[in-house]
A and B are shown apart, each in its own frame.
Chain A
Amino acid sequence: MDRVAVLAGLGAGLPSTPVTNSEIAVRLGIEPDWIETRTGIRRRYVVAPGESTGDLAVSAGRRALASAGTDTVDAVVLATSTPDRLCPATAPRVADILGLGTVAAFDVAAVCSGFIYALATGSGLIAMGAADTVLVIGADTFSTIVDPADRATSAIFGDGAGAAVLRAGAAGERGAVLALDLGSDGSRGDLIEVRGGGSRQRSTGLPAKEEDQFLVMQGQAVFAQAVQRMSASAAQAAARCGWSLDDVDWFVLHQANARIITAVARQLRLPQERFLSNIDRVGNTAAASIPLALADGVLTGRLRPGQRVVLTSFGGGLTWGSFALSWPRLTVGAPQSGAGPAGTSVDHPGSIE
């Protein structure tokens, strides 16, 4: 029997501070309805001063371990493009705080596709026998890189973390990873970028320009790419499982913008009711968006054992990817308080209503 990765646990972590559209609208001098009409977002959460991506990752990771009924794993793979520090990676500190000892721990950078890339990495470690269990986390704090005056980004992004535990199992089991599709297009890397802070700027010896410290996104081109790439990738992953699009119970897309999800549904000629979404309540949480949507799907009773699920992401790079699995029997635990070392994170699934 082939050894494959099986989804065994899920957890979510959100900062404790919600930010409503009215608060953002006042800051940007726009009508509150502007945000919801264009993005489908009503609320997002942002970190407190001094709180980090790693703190949210710890919160989500702890819950995922509890969901899987374990307190040990063989590796931690953390997807983020807003790490606690430029160097080193955030994952080793997260593993340490979670009491996981000296296990392998590293970051994966694929922007909003990071969680799918990290799942692929974790599944690979399991398939080759290098690990029996892997904690995979997607965590980002885009509130730290968006320009507060840029309505195209500051109204959309929120902070958060989501995590999954993968364990070794067999292909016939519920929760088994059945297919994967990954891709990138570096020729369009300028569509979503933070220009400053990296080696390209630092090697000049000059400080980063003010505007280069923020995320810039070319909205319409990103919309077109996201719709095309996610439609094609989701279809590819389903096909690799031998599923028709109609066989799939749930498509869980990166929660970038409700309009993108609608457009992908139209491209695939599928009813929008088959696309799981929680973007109205958390915004675009970058690498955390898919696991947060999954946790929400379990808590709201929409994701049920045996269902056929396709996860699909798109992000800067450009990067995209899909992951197909049968949904396992698992529970996402009741809220617990204050996980992060900064003491400001609250574990939140109970409030993802």
Chain B
Amino acid sequence: MNAIDQRLAEILTDQLKVDRAAIDTDVTLDSLDIDSLVVVELALILEKEFAVPIPDGELTKEMTVGDVAHLIEDKSGGPGATV
């Protein structure tokens, strides 16, 4: 788990009240009971936390936790990027 994966998991559990045990890179946001409004909220939190722009609609509930982490990695310049 790199720094982004770890921070994403923390945000999901601490701020969005997702069950930590259910989080895995392969599970979709939808299967974590994250609906469309929570997806919007997650995008706002990630924008602030990682200082990356996430336009409306870029994050979807069909994405997996791993997809979200990759998206942030791509935008912020790789897994080693400081957050």
- Tell whether, in the assembled complex, residue B56 and residue A221 are in contact, meaning their CB atoms are under 8 Å apart: yes
- Tell whether, in the assembled complex, residue B15 and residue A259 are in contact, meaning their CB atoms are under 8 Å apart: no
SS of A interface (majority): helix
B37 at the interface (CB under 8 A from A): yes
B41 at the interface (CB under 8 A from A): yes
New A-B contacts (4) at CB < 8 Å, excluding given A220-B37, A220-B56, A263-B44:
A220-B40, A223-B40, A266-B41, A267-B44
- A sample of 13 inter-chain contacts (CB < 8 A) reads A38-B37, A220-B37, A220-B40, A221-B56, A223-B37, A223-B40, A223-B41, A227-B44, A228-B44, A263-B37, A263-B41, A266-B41, A266-B45
- Tell whether, in the assembled complex, residue A259 and residue B37 are in contact, meaning their CB atoms are under 8 Å apart: yes
* Minimal beta-carbon separation of B26 from chain A (angstroms): 26
Contact with B along A218-247 (1 / 0, CB 8 A): 001101100110000000000000000000
| Docked complex: B34-73 residues within 8 A CB-CB of A | 36-37, 40-41, 43-45, 48, 56
Give A contacts to B, CB under 8 Å.
38, 220-221, 223-224, 227-228, 259, 263, 266-267
| Docked complex: B5-38 residues within 8 A CB-CB of A | 15-16, 36-37
Complexed CA–CA distance, A229 and B16 (Å) = 20
Complexed CA–CA distance, A223 and B15 (Å) = 17
Complexed CA–CA distance, A259 and B44 (Å) = 14
Across the interface, name the chain B residue whose C-beta is closest to A262. Answer: B41
Complexed CA–CA distance, A228 and B44 (Å) = 8
- Tell whether, in the assembled complex, residue B41 and residue A227 are in contact, meaning their CB atoms are under 8 Å apart: yes
Complexed CA–CA distance, A281 and B56 (Å) = 31
Total count of chain B residues near the partner, CB < 8 A: 11
Complexed CA–CA distance, A223 and B40 (Å) = 8
* Minimal beta-carbon separation of A14 from chain B (angstroms): 27
A residues within 8 A CB of B48? Answer: 267
Across the interface, name the chain B residue whose C-beta is closest to A260. Answer: B37
B residues within 8 A CB of A259? Answer: 37
Across the interface, name the chain B residue whose C-beta is closest to A263. Answer: B41
* Minimal beta-carbon separation of B64 from chain A (angstroms): 20
A residues within 8 A CB of B56? Answer: 220-221, 224
Complexed CA–CA distance, A141 and B65 (Å) = 43
* Minimal beta-carbon separation of B48 from chain A (angstroms): 8
- Tell whether, in the assembled complex, residue A266 and residue B40 are in contact, meaning their CB atoms are under 8 Å apart: no
* Minimal beta-carbon separation of A320 from chain B (angstroms): 15
- Tell whether, in the assembled complex, residue B37 and residue A266 are in contact, meaning their CB atoms are under 8 Å apart: no
Complexed CA–CA distance, A267 and B16 (Å) = 11
- Tell whether, in the assembled complex, residue B43 and residue A224 are in contact, meaning their CB atoms are under 8 Å apart: yes
- Tell whether, in the assembled complex, residue A224 and residue B36 are in contact, meaning their CB atoms are under 8 Å apart: no
B residues within 8 A CB of A221? Answer: 56
Q: Return the contact of A220 from the options B16, B36, B45 (Cβ within 8 A).
A: B36
B residues within 8 A CB of A220? Answer: 36-37, 40, 56
* Minimal beta-carbon separation of B15 from chain A (angstroms): 5
* Minimal beta-carbon separation of B46 from chain A (angstroms): 12
* Minimal beta-carbon separation of B72 from chain A (angstroms): 18
Complexed CA–CA distance, A200 and B56 (Å) = 28
Across the interface, name the chain A residue whose C-beta is closest to B57. Answer: A220
- Tell whether, in the assembled complex, residue B15 and residue A266 are in contact, meaning their CB atoms are under 8 Å apart: yes
Give the 9 A-B residue pairs with the shortest CB-CB distance, closest first.
A263-B41, A224-B40, A223-B40, A266-B15, A220-B40, A259-B37, A223-B37, A221-B56, A227-B44
B residues within 8 A CB of A228? Answer: 44
Across the interface, name the chain B residue whose C-beta is closest to A222. Answer: B40
Across the interface, name the chain A residue whose C-beta is closest to B11. Answer: A266
